[in-house]
Each structure stands twice: as structure tokens, then as C-alpha cells.
Amino acid sequence: MSDRNLVIDNLRGLAMLGVIGIHAGDYVLKSATPWSALYVLLEVLTRFSVPAFFFISGYGLFTAYPLEKRLEYASFLKKRVFSIIIPYLAWSFIYLWAWKVMPLNPLAVDWVELGKTLFFGKASYHLYFLVLLWWFYVTLPGWRWLVGKIDQGGRIRLGLSLLVLTALQLWLYDWSSWYWKYPDWINYNHVLSNLLTERFNYCPLFYGVVFILGALGARHAGFCRQMLKKYWPGWTLLWLASAAMMVLKFYELLHSGVAIMEAGDILNQLTPRGLWYTVASLLCFCSLLDFVQGWGLKLIRSLSNHSLVIYLVHPLFLDGIPYHTGLLNLRFDQIPMPVYYFVVLGGAWMFSILLRAAAKKVGFLGRLFLGRDISRPALPPKAKL
């Protein structure tokens, strides 16, 4: 059970590329290529990426901590404090200072506001992922119980259970996505009102289905690998059909008068179309990654190995480039979006390589920014090819 699945590992690279796409999509209309097709590509067809990370986490957790073995909950959480919470705090303070949200002088800090910012992952727009991941860790005993229950019977019971859970998740999102007008007793309670308002930033229930799919993939890894590899043309066609559905709906919304940015938000990954597209993407990409060889495999493995730092640091490049283009006597609307995207990716990738090189010499850097000490030699994990 300790063997690694390289397909799942390499899926991190694709998911990371998608996350950068989502965030770069906000700049499409300001670039030299303000094309709706580019906006669809970056803001709509990359929407599988955030759920993909939770799918990968489910797979990894149920591979490392199978249901057949007792979970040492206290030691498990302690390990995650060092691997998630410490890097999360370090990167949060970097962004708070970079965005000039928090002064360097501790006496000038609003500690209540800081606590709220850190609890909800709002130091930067991408850090909520680590908050959600932490709450998946905290609630892991409940997920283990649920996965064990739905995996006890045959395939019919498992399929029906997944359908019910999917329906419940979609209902929860639909019910909670409307603006809620809170009664006064909630509005006057700042803790409770903030918990309700920021529910998407910390409640793992909105991504529970893909997490469970990852867990089931780990429990039935051999069967899933066989089905993905055998029927890869079908999974590819399924993805193409779901992608076409998303694109057609996007342009339908535009033609009905919906603003382009609002249309992208309507097709997010928590909606029925978005969830269907996410599952189709996971099936397709996991099946196709099994066939990647040569330089393509080396490239995607490098991206995957550096995906965490690229994910964490890319907003500094993403937002910094438009802000500093004037130093090069350029306007941002002179830069084509594909060039901008690959400059951001390349800068974040190079930063990750340099940070890992420094962390191999100074263990403190690895513990602080990567969540682990990579200065010590470790035994290479077995790879499941």
C-alpha cells in the first residue's frame, strides 16, 4: 500500500497548470488578446483543477492510511501541522506583506482581523485550498467511516451511494450559493456570521464527492487502472463531450446577455455541469497520463514535483507582472495572454527549482516553505509503473 501511483502523482502537474489558468483568466480581457476563446480555455475548461487536488488528496490519504489499519489520529494531525499549517502560515504572511495588507510593525497589527484572515485563508485568493485541505485532514475519521460504509456492498450499492452523495452535494451548493439575509442575532454575532459567509473557504463538504472518488480509487487501484487504460478512447470522448457542453453553455449565457466574467462563474466546478466536467476530466486525464513517455513524461514529472511551490508562489508573478510592466516601457494590453501565462509559469517554476535547491542545503527553508525537510537524504519511494 506504500507504492506510489505515478499517474496520480503526475496529475498534480496538470491540475497546477489549470489553477494558473483560472487565475490568469481574470487578465484575459486586459491583455493584447482579449478573445472569448482564450477566456473559455482559461476560466472554464480549467475548472477541473481545484477538485483534482482534492481527488489526489483522497487517493493519497487512503493509500497511506488504508481502512484495514487503525488511524493514529493524534500523530496524523501532528504530522499535518508541520506539512500544511506551518507552510500555510509562512506563505500567508508573505502575501500579507507583499499585498501590503499587514504592516511589519506588530504594534500596528489588527490581531482579530489577522486571525479571521488566516482562519479563512484570505491572505491571498489561492490559499483557501490549504485551509480546505486541513479540514479534510481534521475530519478524516468521518470520511474513513463513510468510505467504509459505501464500499462494503457490491458495485450497485457503491454506485447508488455515489449518486446519492452527489445529489446531496449539489443540493448543498445550490442551497448555500444564494445570498443569505441573516437575522439580527446572527449579524450581531461576528464569529457566526463570518463562519456562514465564508463557508466555501473551509467547509470540505462542497468537495466531498471527488475526495471520496479519490479514496475509492486508492482502494480499488488495480481495477481502476485497468479500466482507465482499457477504455481510454471512451473516457476521451466523454471529456470532449463534457467540454463541448461547457463551451456551448458559456456562449449561450453570453448571447442571453450575461457578462463574460459572470458566465465563467456560473459554470464553476460545484455546479452540476462543472462537477460532471470535473469527473470526465479526471477519467480522461488519468487514462491518457498512462501513455505519456519520453520527454513529455519528464516534463510533466518535473511540473508535478514542483507543483506545490508553483501553486503557492504563482500569484506573485501573476499580479506582479501587470503591475511592473511600466518598468519595461510596456503596457499590459500589449502582452498576448499566452506569453503572459508561460512567463508566469516559467517564473514560478524557476523559483521552485531555486527554493528546493536552497532547502536541500538549509533544512529550515524546507520545513518553513515546503512542509518537510528535504536536506536529509530519503529512501526513494517504490513506483507503481
Q: pLDDT digit of tens for each residue in the chain (385 aa)? A: 345 688 999 999 999 999 999 999 999 999 999 999 999 999 999 999 999 999 999 999 999 999 999 999 999 999 999 999 999 999 999 999 988 878 777 778 888 899 999 999 999 999 999 999 999 999 999 999 999 999 988 889 999 999 999 999 999 999 888 766 777 878 788 888 889 889 999 999 999 999 999 999 999 999 999 999 999 999 999 999 999 999 999 999 999 999 999 999 999 999 999 999 999 999 999 999 999 999 999 999 999 999 999 999 999 999 988 888 877 788 899 999 999 999 999 999 999 999 999 999 999 999 999 999 998 765 555 544 3
CA R_g for the chain? 21
> What pLDDT is attached to residue 383?
46
Which amino acid is residue 46, in one-letter code? T
> What pLDDT is attached to residue 190?
83
Residue 4 β-bridge partners: 383
Question: CA 234 → CA 210, 244, 283, distances in Å?
Answer: 20, 15, 10
Characterize 357-385 residue by residue with b for buried, 16 or more Cβ atoms within 10 angstroms of its Cβ, and e for exposed. Answer: eebeeeeebbbbbbbbbbeeeeeeeeeee
> What pLDDT is attached to residue 2?
41
Burial class (CB in 10 A: 0-12, 13-18, 19+), 55: buried
- Give the list of residues 6+ apart from residue 380 with CB closer than 8 angstroms, or none: none
- Give the list of residues 6+ apart from residue 318 with CB closer than 8 angstroms, or none: 20, 23, 24, 27, 344
Question: CA 15 → CA 48, 114, 132, 177, 238, distances in Å?
Answer: 7, 30, 16, 25, 19
> What pLDDT is attached to residue 385?
38
Domain that includes residue 305, residue range: 4-384
Nearest to 143 by CA among 214, 83, 248, 74: 214
Alpha-carbon span 352 to 374, nearest angstrom:
13
C-alpha cell at 30: 486586459
Alpha-carbon span 300 to 288, nearest angstrom:
12
Alpha-carbon span 181 to 190, nearest angstrom:
14
Q: How many CB atoms neighbour CB 77 within 10 A?
A: 15
> What pLDDT is attached to residue 78?
95
Task: Write out pLDDT tens, residues 222-245.
Answer: 999 999 999 999 999 999 999 999
Are 303 and 350 spatial neighbours (Cβ–Cβ below 8 Å)? no
> What pLDDT is attached to residue 282?
97
- In the numeric block, the cell 489558468 is attached to 21
Positive or negative torsion for Cα 272, 273, 274, 275: positive
> What pLDDT is attached to residue 382?
52
Alpha-carbon span 75 to 7, nearest angstrom:
28
pTM: 0.93
- In the numeric block, the cell 450497485 is attached to 156
C-alpha cell at 325: 510592466
What's the full length of the chain, in residues? 385
Split into its structural domains, the chain has a count of 1
